[in-house]
Amino acid sequence: MTLAHTLGYPRIGANRELKHAVEAYWKGELTQDALESTAAELRARHWQDQRDAGLDLVTVGDFAFYDQVLNVSALLGAVPPRFGQVAGEVDLDTAFRMARGRAPTGTPAAACEMTKYFDTNYHYLVPELYRDQDFRLASSRLFDEVDEARAAGHPVKVALLGPLSWLWLGKVKGDDASGETFERLELLDSLLPVYGEILTRLASQGVEWVQLDEPALVQDLPLEWRQAYESAYNMLQSAPVKLLLATYFGDLGDNLALTVGLPVEGLHIDVVRAPAQLERVLDRLPAYKVLSVGVIDGRNVWRADLATLRETLANARMRLGDRLWLAPSCSLLHVPVDLAGETALDEELKGWLAFARQKLDEVATLARLLDGRATPEEASRLADATAVFDARRGSPRIHRPGVAARVAAVTARDSQRASEYPVRARAQWERFDLPLFPTTAIGSFPQTSEIRAARRAFKQGELDREAYETRMREEIAFAVERQEALGLDVFVHGEPERNDMVEYFGEQLDGFAFTAKGWVQSYGSRCVKPPVIFGDVSRSQAMTVGWSEYAQSLTDKPMKGMLTGPVTILQWSFVRDDQSREATCRQIALALRDEVADLEAAGIGIIQIDEPALREGLPLRQAEWQRYLDWAVECFRLTSSVVRDDTQIHTHMCYSEFNDIIASIAALDADVITIETSRSDMELLDAFRDFAYPNEIGPGVYDIHSPNTPEVAWMVALMEQAAERIPAERLWVNPDCGLKTRSWAEVEPALRRMVEAAHELRRRY
Ligand code: GLN
Ligand code: ZN
């Protein structure tokens, strides 16, 4: 019998119950007991979902109030000293303080750093690693959850982040003054006994299988890390449970032989991202091991083509017999919970999709089909899936002949500005006549509760379009007035009409759909609702021109047009799987190119194309970086290169490092790039200096994440540091990012000081 299971399931709940409960608890509106009971209900429901779908095991250990990596840190007693908990059970509020700096009880302290989990949009809390750190079993939550699931009568498999990936995701803190650095791996010896203890305790609870997630194995691993995998798993093999080593998000590549040979009872591989590795693993898998094949896409929302998958897996079934397990490619954490609650999509489109709950059905159905023990209902699911798949393939909603033809007709010239930067810079200088150290903002101004309320009323039909647009125009006029008073040099309209920088464009482009409840956890209680790109992308009418034109009409200062770039729109959406991401990105680029042309024609002389997600699209393997960067850069240029020499193209990137991608950043050939730098003491500019970056740069001088007002002297000092790296005549002065999360009471004094800083700089240079 083929065993069906899942690596993990979303915990937020189909109606974001967990988000609401956790936030209420933080606000003091819900007791800890009530929070715990909501959590228990959600776990019970999600386990039951797995059983109802026909999975053979339910997964325990994927629940988290905030983050599953944080859970493991708590389990291991890896609590940074500033949170003051050195002994005893790591309690809920300590974990919340690690996550957000404060909780209903306990002394506030600086929160742990957060960053993206591999190449997903899920953020985890970075484990802080200290020399000679002690680990101890410091939380009984996992064991309690196991008891809970067993009491409900479920066959349990525990899922837990493995020791090496936990260390891999961690960051060394507090190197000693001697300057001697220490390696994360030095902690492995003290970490493993605690993992051993956890496994032993799980065994004593009657757990047979423990899934240890080791996604680090799909990345480039230094030799010491590869060796550490061998020694660590040699040690863990004495634990009285069966281990399923789970790898996902990519190909094992050069770690394949190592991984297949580790002394564990089972291995999970991702054959959605890396289909070719199935045969390679089958050829090498020792005869005692189980192979869990991740065939249902845990990173995307498309319904699976069960018939094709059955064929693909037939060989594996024959060779492995009962040693074949089936699962989604990775945890279902990265897809929305349940399509059943979806009200915003039409039936046809809905039929093309599968969310987490539906993916459980797909896994179970496929297992039974492979075994030849499918019920008539399951057999009809296969036929349905095939019919839907064929219908989707041929649907006129997906294929717009004009779009494909246009992409095919693109030539190298289309992604090339008319002249080189120095020629353009001269033309732009003559046109705009900007002072040294020109000042500007990044785009958004405070999204006040009034703005949000107006948009809500408009969407619910309580406010008509005209009234809504009048409200937004008032906001724009207000923003222009403020900038006039502050004396900024290049204006923005403030983006009041945008709820989100991707959704705003997706709603107006063809080929995009929006769900009502397609929430995916981003971090903690924060969820995002990514658009679904289901078909060829095109633009039927201008999306921003009216707003920008209006804003420009209110001032003599140049008003920046404001667009989200093609790579960022791609990166923050669920992307169709029937063509390459690259092909979809080109379509978006061409649609945006038309918007750029229209903005220029409407007299907008400066156009900013934001690409904050460019870096996060980097593949997990370095060998694949260049290929990605090449097409990503080309797509940006395709969007931007349509303009005349005297139209100035800006781009903006936040939370990014540039060292290893600086050549591609330069290849974007934006006339001006604004970046987030204020918290890095301008060190991020080293990469630009070392590369002799040729165009203009606006290094952020004002940390928009903080409510504090920066001092003039501080901003001047930052810019002086910048001027040591970049010639002063190519520097701009601006905040780190958009100001939509701030209030006007914070923004005005901060920008006033920023303008003052620019004046001071002009006196000095
Ligand atoms: N123009 C956008 C804004 O100001 C940029 C947002 C971002 O970079 N994340 O809000
Ligand atoms: Zn930004």
Q: What is the pLDDT of residues 424-475, one digit of tens each?
A: 999 999 999 999 999 999 999 999 999 999 999 999 999 999 999 999 999 9
Mutate to test the pocket of ligand 1, among 447, 502, 652 (most ligand atoms within 8 A of CB): 652
**pLDDT score at 535:** 97
**pLDDT score at 655:** 75
Residues 6 or more apart whose Cβ sits within 8 Å of residue 571: 613, 614, 616, 617
Phi, psi angle pair for 151, to nearest 5°: -65, -30
Among 588, 611, 711, 708, which residue's Cα sits nearest to residue 658?
611
16 is in an annotated binding site: yes
Q: What is the pLDDT of residues 643-687, one digit of tens each?
A: 999 999 999 998 778 999 999 999 999 999 999 998 888 889 999
Q: In whole angstroms, what is the distance from residue 214 CA to residue 162 CA?
A: 5
Active site residue 705: yes
Distance from the alpha carbon of residue 750 to the mean position of ligand 1, in angstroms: 18
Atom index in ligand 1 nearest the CA of residue 652 equals 8
Mean pLDDT of 72-82: 96
Rg over alpha carbons for the chain, rounded to the nearest Å, is 27
**pLDDT score at 705:** 84
Distance from the alpha carbon of residue 572 to the mean position of ligand 2, in angstroms: 14
Q: Which ligand is nearest to the CA of 675?
A: 2
Atom index in ligand 1 nearest the CA of residue 443 equals 4
- Checking if the pLDDT of 87 tops 90, the result is no
Atom index in ligand 1 nearest the CA of residue 612 equals 8
Q: What is the pLDDT of residues 232-281, one digit of tens each?
A: 999 999 999 999 999 999 999 999 999 999 999 999 999 999 999 999 99
DSSP H helical segments within 54-187, as ranges? 68-75, 92-100, 141-151, 163-169
- Checking if the pLDDT of 178 tops 60, the result is no
**pLDDT score at 117:** 96
Distance from the alpha carbon of residue 676 to the mean position of ligand 2, in angstroms: 7
> What pTM was computed for the model?
0.96
Atom index in ligand 1 nearest the CA of residue 740 equals 10
The interface predicted TM-score of the complex, written ipTM, equals 0.99
**pLDDT score at 162:** 98
Among 602, 690, 688, 677, which residue's Cα sits nearest to residue 647?
602
- Checking if the pLDDT of 174 tops 80, the result is no
Distance from the alpha carbon of residue 66 to the mean position of ligand 1, in angstroms: 26
Which residues line the pocket of ligand 1, CB cutoff 6 A?
A: 442-444, 495, 501, 562, 610, 612, 652, 654, 737-738, 740
Residue 645: how many other CB atoms lie within 10 Å: 18
**pLDDT score at 401:** 84
Atom index in ligand 1 nearest the CA of residue 738 equals 4
635 is in an annotated binding site: no
| Alpha-carbon distances of 711 from 381, 411, 718, 751, rounded to whole Å | 64, 49, 11, 11
**pLDDT score at 173:** 85
What is the residue whose two structure tokens read 């209420």? 24
Residue 401: how many other CB atoms lie within 10 Å: 9
Pairing of strands 114-116, 123-125: antiparallel
Distance from the alpha carbon of residue 654 to the mean position of ligand 2, in angstroms: 4
Among the ranges given (176-180, 609-613, 634-638), the one the predictor scored with the smallest mean pLDDT: 176-180
19 is in an annotated binding site: yes
Considering only CA atoms, which residue is closest to atom 3 of ligand 1?
738
652 is in an annotated binding site: yes
Q: Which ligand is nearest to the CA of 737?
A: 2
Residue 613: how many other CB atoms lie within 10 Å: 23
**pLDDT score at 679:** 81
Q: What is the pLDDT of residues 583-602, one digit of tens each?
A: 999 999 999 999 999 999 99
Q: What is the pLDDT of residues 567-583, one digit of tens each?
A: 999 999 999 999 999 99
What sign has the CA pseudo-torsion 681, 686, 692, 697?
A: negative
Residue type (1 letter), 758: A
**pLDDT score at 721:** 96
Q: In whole angstroms, what is the distance from residue 402 CA to residue 248 CA?
A: 37
Among the ranges given (239-253, 315-329, 675-689, 711-725), the one the predictor scored with the smallest mean pLDDT: 675-689
748 is in an annotated binding site: no
442 is in an annotated binding site: yes
Distance from the alpha carbon of residue 564 to the mean position of ligand 2, in angstroms: 11
Among 395, 496, 488, which residue's Cα sits nearest to residue 454?
496
Q: In whole angstroms, what is the distance from residue 322 CA to residue 318 CA?
A: 9
**pLDDT score at 175:** 57
Mutate to test the pocket of ligand 1, among 499, 610, 653 (most ligand atoms within 8 A of CB): 610
What rounded mean pLDDT belongs to the chain?
96
Q: Which ligand is nearest to the CA of 677?
A: 2
Q: Which ligand is nearest to the CA of 565?
A: 1
Considering only CA atoms, which residue is closest to atom 10 of ligand 1?
738
**pLDDT score at 80:** 94
**pLDDT score at 176:** 52
Mean pLDDT of 26-54: 98
Mean pLDDT of 695-720: 94
- Which member of 20, 268, 493, 705 is catalytic? 705
**pLDDT score at 359:** 98
| Alpha-carbon distances of 211 from 5, 159, 320, rounded to whole Å | 11, 5, 19
